[in-house]
Chain A
Amino acid sequence: MPDGHIGEEMVLSFDAKRAKRLLIVGPLFDEANKFRHQIAEIMRKLNSRGIDSFLPDLPGCNESLAPFDKQSLAHWRAGVAAAAANFRATDILAVRSGCWLVPEDGAGWLYAPAKPQQVLRSMLRARILSAKEAGREESSDALMEVARENGIDLAGWSLGPELVCEIEATEFAAPSGYRIVEQADVGGKPLWLRAENDHDPAQADAIVAMIAAEAPGA
């Protein structure tokens, strides 16, 4: 909820009350759509390896009814922490920009963490390119000046001023309980770069094998 309360959100889950319970934090913005299929594939494979998994909607994202333009990294972090407690998650797998949101005291895997300024830069660039195609000149500096005060629509997402300032100021650093998993560890082409959404069963297998081998109690 915009006032800081954590409301009810939808969750995609495989819950058979097993010992290993993985909370998944997907990427934000455009990459959320790009990874949806792949994450569902990972969850199905985890299920067949005896691991429960939970993919909650972040407030304002996917099926959530909360307004996107009222969201902030702080609020999403609180949502992730609440979900981890609610589902009694034993570990967390975060993907790309989802890595910014994991609880400091948690443990798990951070898959190809995105750099906050780079994500913002890409979205600004997409907007400037669209404007250019429509015959309008825009610049990152001018857009950011307005965005810090009033928020901004970027690539179909309505970012509030708080979120803009947080992303601009965030230097991502992995909390100590998590292991960073690079694309080279997974193999194949990075799905977030793909112009058209895709999924890759071999990459999902690699991630699931790693989680099954390394999760506590394995």
Chain B
Amino acid sequence: MTAETAQAEPTGPSRSDIDQTLRAILRDVLGLDQAQVDGFDGDTGLFGHLPELDSMAVAGLLTEMEDRLDIVIEDEDVDGEMLESYSGLLAFAEAKVIES
């Protein structure tokens, strides 16, 4: 399901907004330019794949997601799978936005 999420055409503005917001946060956290984050696909590895993305940086990223997407992320939501790849993080963010 996560792979489909990343490859499917956006089905509505809100979903592509979430994608854009998430890319913008990663751009800010990782210090990349827009073209680089636009090149992220579902398989792009995050936590555990990028040495600079340590626990403090991930914590900052999650807090920024709460702020910009107006969601609340609970301790138990955070697991290796959601943080491991871009598709995992996007699927998580989309589910949270629907829930809120």
Chain A positions near chain B (C-beta within 8 angstroms): 30, 118, 121-123, 125-130, 132-133, 138-140, 155, 189-190, 192-196, 198
Query: CB-CB < 8 A to B25: which residues of A?
Result: 193
Whether A126 pairs with B29 at a CB distance below 8 angstroms is no
In the complex, whether B53 has a CB less than 8 A from a CB of chain A is yes
Q: Looking at the complex, which one of B29, B54, B59 makes contact with A194 (CB distance below 8 Å)?
A: B29
User: Is there an interface contact between B27 and A189, defined as CB atoms closer than 8 Å?
Assistant: yes
Q: Inside 8 A of B30's CB, which chain A residues have their CB? A: 194-195
Question: Could you give, for residues 24-38 of chain B, a 1 whenever the CB lies within 8 Å of some chain A CB and a 0 otherwise?
Answer: 010111110000000
Which A residues touch B55, using CB under 8 A? Answer: 126-127, 129-130, 133, 155
| Interface membership of B64, Cβ < 8 A | yes
Closest Cβ–Cβ distance, residue B74 to chain A (whole Å) = 9
User: How many B residues, CB 8 Å from partner?
Assistant: 26
Say whether chain A's binding surface is mostly helix, strand, loop, or mixed.
Answer: helix
A195 touches B63 (CB 8 A): no
Contact B27 A195 (CB under 8 A): no
Residues on B with beta carbons closer than 8 Å to the beta carbon of A127 = 55
Q: Chain B's interface: helix, strand, loop or mixed, by majority?
A: helix
Query: Whose C-beta in chain A lies nearest to the C-beta of B48?
Result: A133
Q: CA separation between A203 and B42, bound complex, in Å?
A: 32
Q: List 7 interface pairs A-B (beta carbons < 8 Å), by A numbering.
A: A125-B59, A125-B62, A126-B55, A129-B55, A132-B78, A189-B28, A194-B31
**Judging by beta carbons under 8 Å apart, are B63 and A196 in contact?**
no
B10 sits at the interface (CB 8 A) = no
Q: A122-B59, A190-B28 are in contact. Are A195 and B54 (CB under 8 A)?
A: yes
Kindly state the separation between the CA atoms of A125 and B31 in the bound complex, as whole angstroms.
Answer: 22
Q: In the complex, which residue of chain B has the Cβ closest to the Cβ of A142?
A: B75
Q: A123-B59, A193-B29 are in contact. List 6 more A-B contacts (CB 8 A).
A: A30-B56, A118-B63, A125-B58, A125-B59, A126-B56, A194-B30
Cβ-closest chain B residue relative to A131: B55
Cα–Cα, bound, A130→B56 (Å):
9
> Nearest residue in B to A188 (C-beta to C-beta)?
B28
Knowing A189-B28, A195-B31 touch, does A121 contact B78 (C-beta < 8 A)? no
Q: Which of B18-74 contact A (CB under 8 A)?
A: 25, 27-31, 50, 52-64, 66-67
Listed residue (A121, A190, A193, A198) with the most chain B CB atoms within 10 angstroms of its CB = A193
Inter-chain contact B78/A195, CB cutoff 8 Å: no
Q: What's the Cα separation between A193 and B52 when bound, in Å?
A: 12
Distance A72 CA – B71 CA, assembled complex (angstroms): 30
Task: Kindly list the 3 A-B residue pairs having the minimum CB-CB distance in the complex, ordered from nearest.
Answer: A195-B57, A126-B59, A125-B59
CA distance A121 to B54 in the complex (A): 16
* Cβ 8 A contact of A196, one of B28, B52, B58, B76: B52
Contact check, B78 vs A193: say whether CB atoms are below 8 A apart: no
Contacts of B28 in A (CB 8 A): 189-190, 193-194
**Contact yes or no, A195 B75, CB < 8 A:** no
